[in-house]
Structure 1
Amino acid sequence: MLHNRGPLLTIDVGSRETAREDIAEINEQYIGGRGVGTRLTHERIPFDADPLGPANRLVFSTGPMQSSTMSFTGRMSCTGVSPLTDGLLSSNAGGFMSRNFADTGYSAVEITGASDELIAIHIRDDGVEFEPVPELAGETVGETVAYLEAEHDITADQTAVIGPAGENQVRFASIMTSEERAFGRGGLGAVLGSKNVKAITVGGDSAPEIEIPSTQMEIHREAATDDNIMKRQGTVAVMDLANAMEGLPSYYFSEREFAGVEGINGSAVEEKKYKKGTCSACAFACKLPTRDEERGVETEGPEFEVAMAFGSNSGVDDIVDVMQSNELCDQYGLDAISAGNTVAAYLASEDAFGDVDLIHETVEKIARREGIGDTLAEGIDRCYEELGVENWTVKGMDFAAHEGRVLHGQGLSYAVSNRGADHMYSVFYSVEYPLVPEEDALDPEGTLGKADRLVERENLMAVNDAGVVCKFSRDYMNPDRYEALFGADFEDLLAVGDRIVTLERHFNNQRGLDREDDTLPYDLPDLEEALGEYYDARGWEDGVVPDAAVPA
């Protein structure tokens, strides 16, 4: 089976000590990326670790596909205990860092401990340097990247940095790479901030030699030549469909249609797009560099989730206002989905939907934990009672845009996901809109009979995250191509995904999560019975992994 190569580098930022360790067996069993990160953190983080304490660890890892020249492979993974969900969580980011990371020769880098001063860590194939950077305290992502380039000739594509939100341990702070790409959901930026690490840089000339089958070129050619609407509008292309299905969360989830959708939809974004944007080696180029010269706003995006969170869910119908919110989140280092939804909750409490000045002011207050921002920085699950609003979260994570009250299988996915209400954990919405061929689609109505398909989707997405392969490759990947690329039977690959999901669930079980946490803030037909079907398909008992089922 194709898998990552290279040792683990452990960096204790408290003692300033480093160590190399052979993890060949783990790479062979878990491929790379999220798989290796999950296995390592499951073994090395105490089950009772404080997410913002020194015992928590962050594992950055690439996969074998970062040795390819195939589209959809410009991504890497970061894993640790989330301060937002209190469970084990992996986030992955696009951009250009992954191949620069691979150049260090390490398949994974683990950050542990806590520094007594603000530092940058420079990781090269010939050593690690710890640089005190007190002058970067409170600096934005852009300011930090500018410093690294001016002082060290290090480009944004070699960096993972936090903004003020990470330093202030906002529970949904991001780690930013390539300046505008995010290890977003779950607040791992706050974990890096708790360790007093402002930036990590990577480089070298020691990338492992991994032979990738020629199938990669077929996929790359198709990605380059296909006329896909995502190349023009990104994920926001689905917004009109969602709105037509009465499935676009609006006004802090109180409504499911938005009258101002034309002001924030795919066409609105496409009008502001001024050039192509992509990730490393990818010819699909679905990113959205956007600009409004009249108001002086320039950013990358927004994608569908952010256009929902800062758009329809906040009562805003002007794409430039949403672009500005998106850019503020990138510069302060905030997960724009959680930031937008949390701001929407605040707007609901103040009866202030559509107040753009208040929105932008509140984003900054959250990042700096000033005034009401200190309350909102804890996330919806920890502040909804004080705001007097409903708790639109699962396991502490607020909802993505794909509406589970309309796409019932996606709703079931939100309930059982180890990450909470995250759309990318199974990407089940794709089979219910549908965004897949008719023969692969499912009726969005109902939850029963979908468990087996959901398990397969979760396992396959875990394989993608281990690979690391972008999930937007779905139109170009099939079981035969997975087998050709990874040199393994499709069912064996799904078994790797099952081990990853099971380890995540087991870790979270040890932290007290069980069936009671697999719930939703709204009713779905036959949800309890569907949960039973899902647990049976997984071999779990009421949401708990039996000891005998924990991967060795």
Structure 2
Amino acid sequence: MQDKSLFGYAGQVLRVNLTAGNIKIKELDEELARDYLGGNGFCARLLYDMTGTETDPLGPENVLIFAVGPLTGTSWPHTGRFEVAGKSPLTGIYGEANSGGHWGSELKKADFDTIIIEGKSKTPVYLSLDNGKVEILEAESLWGEPVKKTAEELSEKHGTDKRKVACIGPAGENLVRFSSIMTGDYRAAARSGLGAVMGSKNLKAIVVKGDKKVEPAKPEKFKELATDARKRIINHPFSKDTMKYGTTILVELMNEIGRFPTKNFQAGVFEHADDIGGEVIASEYKEKDRACYACPLHCENFTRVTEGKYKSSGKVEYETLSSLGSRVGNSNIEALLYANELCNNYGLDTISCGGVIGFAMECYEKGIITKEETDGLELEWGDEEVMIELIEKIINREGFGDKLAEGTERLAKSLGEEAQQYAMIVKGQDIPAQDGRAQKSMGLAHATANRGADHLTAFEVLSEVGFNEEIVNRFGEEVLPEAADRLNPKYKPLMVRDGEHFCAILDSVTVCKFGTIWPPALYFQDFAEALTALTGINYSESDLRKIGERIFNLERSYDIREGISKKDDLLPDRLTKTPAPKGPNKGEVVELEEMLQEYYKLRGWDKESGLIPEEKLKELDLEGVASELAETVSFRNI
């Protein structure tokens, strides 16, 4: 039952030890809820406390944490998301992924805010959560099955629909280091390789089913605020295209400004962008609109290729159109949609999948990799058949695919120093579909993200197309015109830091950033008012800013404990030393060091080492973390 002192929460934490077969349910800690909100905040706090430098990401000692936030399952718009975290098999540092759909809201309705999974089952199993009742059930018959079939069988067995099944495909079972956790409607918690953590535990799926209601402390006020938020999102001038195209429209927009990574970031302009963009998808392949829980934008464009060898169905996002399109030189949209479904159904992060294939293609182009090493395949740019064959090899860890399944960083190291210059990674994770030379804030954000290269940790979009009014409202008139100029590094550290704190809040309450940040319809104060009405706890804008900063610094502390410092806040030389060869950003590089120094200053971090001073952690109520990190010589000498 919901603890009435914790309005907005289910009030329960589920802890499952698969080694012992133990199931424990405990009350949600009220202090944890106040200080970290939920979702991302819960993941950061629990993962820091429950794992350490000795934890093997693929060992039974690693934990897998699923968490939702107080807004999840309410009438607030865009509240269908969930967070999942563990020590990353891809990077060896803080690992976290986020997914939309309906699974997160159903977890809340099933009477849980958080699931903590420990240990390893001797045989394949899955979890069933039904209105507070939890069972560990055998899954041997499901092992080896793709996502779609797994979800269909479990939803039929448990009397729910496939959207409420989170599972892994064969890629996760085979411990591919960039495998994803999928829900049955092809929503992906893709980054950090957490599908491999789930696979290492012999955990095939989690089925959730519930009908509990989330009770606001002030129902009428919360309803009023939620209704207003929904209207502001729908009425934003950018929302019309968002509803029509989803993220696919970004292909044309990003290509136009030179931010669309092509041939492993050799350029930011793809001459065939129109062949794989939002317009062609909407006019020729879109079948219907679908929406996540409580979403007014229904941006999930369901596509279908009805005939031919690339017959497929599913949903596709901007990142995939880049990673399996321009990044590997592929302009065949039907092959791209087929490859996308292949990754979704077998459980691969499309960003890292396209990243490692693009890296291999460039190494082949440069003569670093030969046909003898690729099972006889010629890794030519734009060869969609080779791309698809490589994806299949990765899923099954077959031949050359076994090396690709280890990820770009490990493959690059195995090939030697020459190859490593072509690895488009940060902290071991493949850079997503933003060429930082075309938007300097994205370059900085990739370098500072705690889970490795990531655009959603900060999601700085105000300088992307020049949202001048929002820039002035948030940072003052004095930052114009430089702040609105995507090619000018000035003020970008300020905007990235702000975005990192705001995104930490959104991922903790758990709300989608599409429609909240893009377009920029809501901000800190809106969520402070919503949380106050929902939880009965009086949150101010400054409270949320501090919580966002606390969460981000805690994640950074996790990475510092693993050896991360300024030396790792880097971008590949291609982005900082090689000017963009063509497009509207021709001649540009990312002025990373200049921005990093200002960024560290704003954060109160040491500018030489990138470490967090003890007093800064104490200021954020992280005294225990400060004490632990202070034991290292490098930290004491700041």
Q: TM-score, normalised by structure 2?
A: 0.83
Structure 2 residue aligned with 1:287 = 300
- Cα separation, 2, equivalents of 1:99 and 1:242: 32
1:79-158 aligned within 5 A = 79-158=85-164
Decide whether aligned partners of structure 1 residues 77 and 229 sit closer, same or farther in structure 2, where only a CA change above 3 A counts: same
Matched, 1:217 2:259: no
Deviation track 1:102-146 (CA, whole Å, cap 9, x = no partner) reads 122121110111111111111233432111221222111012112
Decide whether aligned partners of structure 1 residues 204 and 159 sit closer, same or farther in structure 2, where only a CA change above 3 A counts: same
Is residue 412–residue 447 contact of structure 1 (8 Å, CA) maintained in 2?
no
Matched, 1:370 2:415: no
Deviation track 1:34-73 (CA, whole Å, cap 9, x = no partner) reads 1111111111123321111111111111111114213211
2:571 corresponds to which of 503, 507, 520: 520
Deviation at 1:549, TM superposition (A): 3.3
What amino acid is the match of 1:15?
Answer: A
- Cα separation, 1, equivalents of 2:614 and 2:55: 21
Deviation track 1:141-178 (CA, whole Å, cap 9, x = no partner) reads 01211221333334212211000010011111000013
Deviation at 1:346, TM superposition (A): 2.4
Please identify runs of 4+ aligned residues in structure 1 that moved more than 6 A: none
Is residue 263–residue 327 contact of structure 2 (8 Å, CA) maintained in 1?
yes
1:252 corresponds to which of 264, 268, 276: 264
Matched, 1:476 2:527: no
Matched, 1:264 2:276: yes
Matched, 1:549 2:555: no
- Cα separation, 2, equivalents of 1:145 and 1:525: 44
Greater shift in the superposed pair: 431-440 or 396-405: 431-440
- Cα separation, 1, equivalents of 2:305 and 2:436: 33
Deviation at 1:398, TM superposition (A): 0.6
Q: TM-score, normalised by structure 1?
A: 0.95
What amino acid is the match of 1:29?
Answer: D
Deviation at 1:406, TM superposition (A): 1.5
- Cα separation, 1, equivalents of 2:252 and 2:235: 25
Deviation track 1:403-423 (CA, whole Å, cap 9, x = no partner) reads 111111110111111122111
Structure 2 residue aligned with 1:494 = 545
Deviation at 1:529, TM superposition (A): 3.3
Decide whether aligned partners of structure 1 residues 381 and 56 sit closer, same or farther in structure 2, where only a CA change above 3 A counts: same
RMSD (Å), alpha carbons: 1.9
1:15 corresponds to which of 4, 17, 20: 20
Counterpart of 1:186 in 2: which secondary structure?
Answer: helix
Counterpart of 1:26 in 2: which secondary structure?
Answer: helix
Structure 1 residue aligned with 2:495 = 453
Decide whether aligned partners of structure 1 residues 420 and 148 sit closer, same or farther in structure 2, where only a CA change above 3 A counts: same
1:229 corresponds to which of 215, 229, 241: 241
Deviation at 1:478, TM superposition (A): 3.0
Matched, 1:56 2:62: yes
Is residue 172–residue 377 contact of structure 1 (8 Å, CA) maintained in 2?
yes
2:330 corresponds to which of 310, 316, 320: 316
Counterpart of 2:72 in 1: which secondary structure?
Answer: helix
Aligned residues: 551
5+ residue gaps, structure 1, are: none
Structure 2 residue aligned with 1:359 = 387
Deviation at 1:526, TM superposition (A): 4.2
Counterpart of 1:136 in 2: which secondary structure?
Answer: coil
- Cα separation, 2, equivalents of 1:4 and 1:549: 30
Deviation at 1:545, TM superposition (A): 2.1
Q: Percent identity?
A: 33
Decide whether aligned partners of structure 1 residues 445 and 68 sit closer, same or farther in structure 2, where only a CA change above 3 A counts: same
Decide whether aligned partners of structure 1 residues 262 and 367 sit closer, same or farther in structure 2, where only a CA change above 3 A counts: same
Is residue 375–residue 383 contact of structure 1 (8 Å, CA) maintained in 2?
yes
Deviation at 1:245, TM superposition (A): 1.9
Deviation at 1:438, TM superposition (A): 4.9
- Cα separation, 2, equivalents of 1:36 and 1:187: 19
- Cα separation, 1, equivalents of 2:296 and 2:268: 35
What amino acid is the match of 2:124?
Answer: L
What amino acid is the match of 2:397?
Answer: R
Is residue 104–residue 202 contact of structure 1 (8 Å, CA) maintained in 2?
yes
5+ residue gaps, structure 2, are: 1-5, 366-379, 472-482, 533-538, 577-588, 624-638
- Cα separation, 2, equivalents of 1:497 and 1:530: 21
Matched, 1:202 2:205: no
